[in-house]
Amino acid sequence: MSTSPTQPPPGPHGAENANNGSDTQLDIAVIGGGIVGLMISLGLLHRNMRVTIYERAPAFNDFSTGFAFTGIARQCMQRLSPHIVDALRRVNDWPHHEYYRYWDGHTPDTKEAALMFRMPSRELDYCSCVRSQFLRGMLDRLPEGVLRYGKQLVSYVDEEGSGKVVLSFADGTEAEADVVVGCDGIHSRTRQILLGEDKPEAYAGFTHKVAYRGVVPIEGVIAALGEDKADNQCSHMGPNGHVVNNSTHSNIVAFLHDPTPWPSPSLPSSSSSSPKLTTPGTRTEIQQALASWSPSVRALVALLPERLSKWAIFDMADHPAPTYARGRVVIAGDAAHASCPFHGLGACMGVEDALAIATALEVAWGEVGGGGVGIGIGRAVTEALQAASKVRLGRTQWMTQSLREMGEIYQWRYAPTGRDAEKIRAEFDYRSRVAWDFDVDKMVEETKTECERRLKLAS
């Protein structure tokens, strides 16, 4: 398949899908062409803004892993751009069973480990997809020339009073923009510059959790767990680890607690090097860690190939960012609040960020272009980005901390719950309610109100 995006048809706003070169558009640089970067870009294009995406990879990355999106995230996608929802609809997969189930994977039972609790799949309201397929669907909805590969950000200059933010890339080229949106992931270069390379909050930290992933024959999963478990998504919990099997792709993920330092820590660097998220691992490492676990889980792990990649999990729970915006630059998704994958919410928080940022910029551009405020575009977008940051800061940082704690809960390392099934379920339910009992319309209105308030004060 060609990696060149094709030209989509015009959207509801007519010109939303074309960077027509007009000077009457807000010019936005998006750093990073991942899930959140593409969603923000499509949302801004939908609002008739001019967008250029700068992606450090030399070509489309076909790396595949699973993503899950809540109903709240899908509401945000719809409000950002119908193109995003359409791309997801074409590749998504819905739960096949009424419940997600959480098992005691440690009890040395000769049959099945004990069921700890279950959660209704309709209530959780997840739909899942494969990352590469969803990315491809969104890429196909971008206009030609919007996405530029091989552009690794080295630095930017955002001087007060200057006409544009000036971006410098590792290939020696430069670019200018009215606004910069950093969606460059866990080890974000945009975040380092925005917060200061000497600040601990500019860097994600190792959580002492690692993940091993593998796809195995479904027949082996049935033999290990039985047909019922093999045909469902199950989480198997125990001391210092948990193992997830997903029926859709015969996918197994083993998460382990790792007390040792990660060999490639996150350190200040303006070079092309970044901390490596993977290192060679083995099935034997997992088997040794889970040697006392139930026979069924050990049989499941035995299906994995001997040679595996070990993925480090980094987050920003220890040193959260004090702000997501400074000047005409804002960060979103993992660049703003990198989090653990233990509740399937990291990408969902990024979708919410995207809608808040797009909303704030739309308000600011409408006020400046319509003569509603007596300030320049530079000051207007600065106030808009501060508004989006303020609205998003509390929720996302609570979620980052909660996801870190969920990893401890699943691995029976969280003192308030231990291995008590009822207490674990209560924590799961409470944290889920915070994530899913969320009013998207209220967030949008709060963003608009805060943006308008700041613009009025600044004028």
**Which residues form the catalytic set?**
213
Supply 353's token pair. 């960020």
Residues 6+ apart with CB under 8 A from 127: 68, 69, 74, 88, 92, 93, 94
DSSP assignments along 146-213, one per residue? SEESS--EEEEE--TT-SSEEEEETTS-EEEESEEEE---TT-HHHHHHH-TT-GGGS-EEEEEEEEE
Residues 6+ apart with CB under 8 A from 288: none
Cα dihedral: 407, 409, 414, 415 (round 10): 180
Name residue, tokens 């808040």: 356
Using a 10 angstrom Cβ sphere, with 0-12 exposed, 13-18 middle and 19 or more buried, the burial of residue 287 is middle
Contact 179, 196 (CB under 8 A): no
Contact 214, 65 (CB under 8 A): no
Cα dihedral: 16, 18, 21, 26 (round 10): 30
User: What DSSP character marks residue 38?
Assistant: H
Contact 177, 28 (CB under 8 A): yes
How many CA atoms within 13 Å lie on the side-chain side of 291?
4
How many CA atoms within 13 Å lie on the side-chain side of 422?
0
Report the number of secondary-structure helices (H) and strands (E) in the chain: 15, 19
Ranges assigned E (strand) in 13-71: 27-31, 50-54, 66-69
Ranges assigned E (strand) in 195-334: 205-215, 234-238, 241-246, 251-257, 278-282, 307-315, 325-326, 329-331
Helix (H, G, I), strand (E, B) or coil at 78: helix
